[in-house]
Amino acid sequence: MNAPLPPEVLKQHLIDPEICIRCNTCEETCPIDAITHDGTNYVVDPAICNGCMACVPPCPTGSIDNWRLVLKTEAYSVEEQFGWDELPGEKALPDTVSANSASDAEEIVSVVSNGGEDADSASAPTPVFSPSGATIPPWSAAHPYVNLYGHKTPAVATVVGNYRVTDEDTDSDIHHIVLDFGNVPFPVLEGQSIGILPPGTDAQGRPHHARQYSLASPRDGERAGYNNLSLTVKRVTEDHQGQPARGVCSNYLCDLARNDTVQVIGPFGNTFLMPNHAHANLMMICTGTGSAPMRAMTERYRRRIARGTNGRLMLFFGARTQRELPYFGPLMKLPRDFIDINLALSRDAAQPRRYVQDLIRERAADVLTLLQDPNTCIYVCGLKGMETGVLDALRDVVVQSGEDWTILHDVLRREGRLHFETY
């Protein structure tokens, strides 16, 4: 059993700014809002964090799992952490902290910093579920490799394809980009993402941090049997408030030419993974580039149609117009008995505005059948704002049938069957 920390000592929770990919997962997960960020770093407020560990498992990079023993009066402030380029080293505790207490405290840090693996059962972290989705993968998911390549040792990939997948005359410039890893091992699974290190420095002269992109290709490659993968990247030309802004990494990626090389870190993600068992159903709900993981999973299923082991595929896909829907052409060529496609167009002159949640409600009977099947996994990816609308629609479908949504929602999370990736 670990002794309590000396009263004057704090086990301070810190985020490694060199590894963090600024994905916001930890800030969304923390139940007491101890994590915050500025334009540069994600940081933990020592005055709020209670060390509950809820944020540690979902962090895709492990950058969240850093702890330092400090005197409470010398805890690193939020403002100090915003200015960091790298984590500070360990500081020796002053002699005034009793020798025994200090060594107990150091033991506690080592237990916490390995994710609690060495802790006894009484102190092991309990699984924590985010308010909306699961933080564990489906039971039959393949085991993913994560964090094989970091900032200091990125993998180098070569661009072997880069073309636009939305109509030229639309504002939405989305590219399909194929990266080849040659002989460099880069094993991935559908639902995972990679980090791209854009060249150059930010306004403070620091190297740009990595941006995360979901895989759009299945585990055996964009071209089956090749060591390559694809991404679906939207060129950011305005910020979230609609003001003109040139996104650093998305513009870099969309402008790449064949044979250019890019620095890649990752892979990331160990929960938004597809089931592997026979007859598993996929319900996929996405908007825009959120279609990337859905393309990867659908292609995995398409390549094994002949086996006859596929379950049902149901897709809800939202965009402003058909011409802004990435991969519209190839998607519509898929056989109707292979995938049930539901397109929600919000700016189509010929139709009233419809969003994915409207179509989920319209297809209530089929959605309910899938939700009640324990072989169904549900994936939601795309705009941050869609999460609430989709959850409300799923809840309505269940409640209208006389079932209890709270119970089903809890089952879906506990069984790793409901996953969100919104950004």
Binds 59, which of ligand SF4, ligand FAD, none (CB < 5 to 8 A, cut-off by type)? ligand SF4
Binds 47, which of ligand SF4, ligand FAD, none (CB < 5 to 8 A, cut-off by type)? none
Are 341 and 366 a contacting pair, CB within 8 Å? no
CA 148 to chain CA centroid, Å, is 17
Q: What is d(CA 155, CA 191) in angstroms, rounded to the nearest whole number?
A: 20
Helices (H), 241-315: 248-254, 291-302
Q: How far is the CB of 262 from ligand SF4 (least distance, A)?
A: 20
Per CB under 6 A, does 240 bind ligand FAD?
yes
In three-state secondary structure terms, 237 is coil
Residues 55-114 that bind ligand SF4 (CB under 6 A): 55, 59-61, 63-64
Residues 286-315 that bind ligand FAD (CB under 6 A): 289, 292
Binds 248, which of ligand SF4, ligand FAD, none (CB < 5 to 8 A, cut-off by type)? ligand FAD
Q: Which position among 151, 211, 219, 413 is part of the footprint of ligand FAD (CB under 6 A)?
A: 211
DSSP 308: T
HEC per residue, 364-379: HHHHHHHHHCCCEEEE
DSSP 162: E
Phi then psi dihedrals of residue 63, to 5 deg: -65, -20
Please count the residues of this chain forming the interface with ligand FAD, following the rule CB under 6 A: 21
Q: How far is the CB of 110 from ligand SF4 (least distance, A)?
A: 16
Complex with ligand SF4: residue 63 or 310, whichever CB lies closer: 63
Binds 275, which of ligand FAD, ligand SF4, none (CB < 5 to 8 A, cut-off by type)? none
Per CB under 6 A, does 15 bind ligand SF4?
yes
Binds 32, which of ligand SF4, ligand FAD, none (CB < 5 to 8 A, cut-off by type)? ligand SF4
**Residue 347 annotated as lining a ligand binding site:** yes
- Nearest CA to 71 among 49, 94, 53? 94
In three-state secondary structure terms, 386 is helix
In three-state secondary structure terms, 141 is coil
Q: What is d(CA 393, CA 376) in angstroms, rounded to the nearest whole number?
A: 17
Complex with ligand FAD: residue 9 or 390, whichever CB lies closer: 390
Q: How far is the CB of 65 from ligand SF4 (least distance, A)?
A: 9
DSSP 46: T
Helices (H), 5-162: 25-29, 78-82, 99-113
**Residue 346 annotated as lining a ligand binding site:** yes
Q: How far is the CB of 263 from ligand SF4 (least distance, A)?
A: 17
- Token code pair at residue 289: 């580039």
Residues 241-280 that bind ligand SF4 (CB under 6 A): none
Residues 34-53 that bind ligand SF4 (CB under 6 A): 34-35, 42, 44, 49-53
**Residue 289 annotated as lining a ligand binding site:** yes
Per CB under 6 A, does 26 bind ligand SF4?
yes
**CA-CA distances (angstroms) from residue 262 to 161, 267, 293, 398?**
13, 15, 21, 46
| Cis status of the peptide bond prior to 199, with omega within 30 of 0 | no
Are 252 and 131 a contacting pair, CB within 8 Å? no
- Nearest CA to 11 among 86, 126, 123, 113? 113
Complex with ligand FAD: residue 214 or 227, whichever CB lies closer: 214
Q: Which position among 249, 264, 343, 398 is part of the footprint of ligand FAD (CB under 6 A)?
A: 249
Query: x/- binding map, residues 180-199, to ligand FAD, per CB under 6 A?
Result: -------------x------
Q: What is d(CA 11, CA 351) in angstroms, rounded to the nearest whole number?
A: 58
Q: How far is the CB of 362 from ligand SF4 (least distance, A)?
A: 35
Q: Which position among 9, 10, 13, 266 is part of the footprint of ligand SF4 (CB under 6 A)?
A: 13
Binding residues for NADP(+): 214, 234, 289, 346-347, 382-383, 421
Sites of contact with ligand FAD (CB under 6 A): 23, 193, 211-214, 232-234, 236, 239-240, 245, 247-250, 289, 292, 421, 423
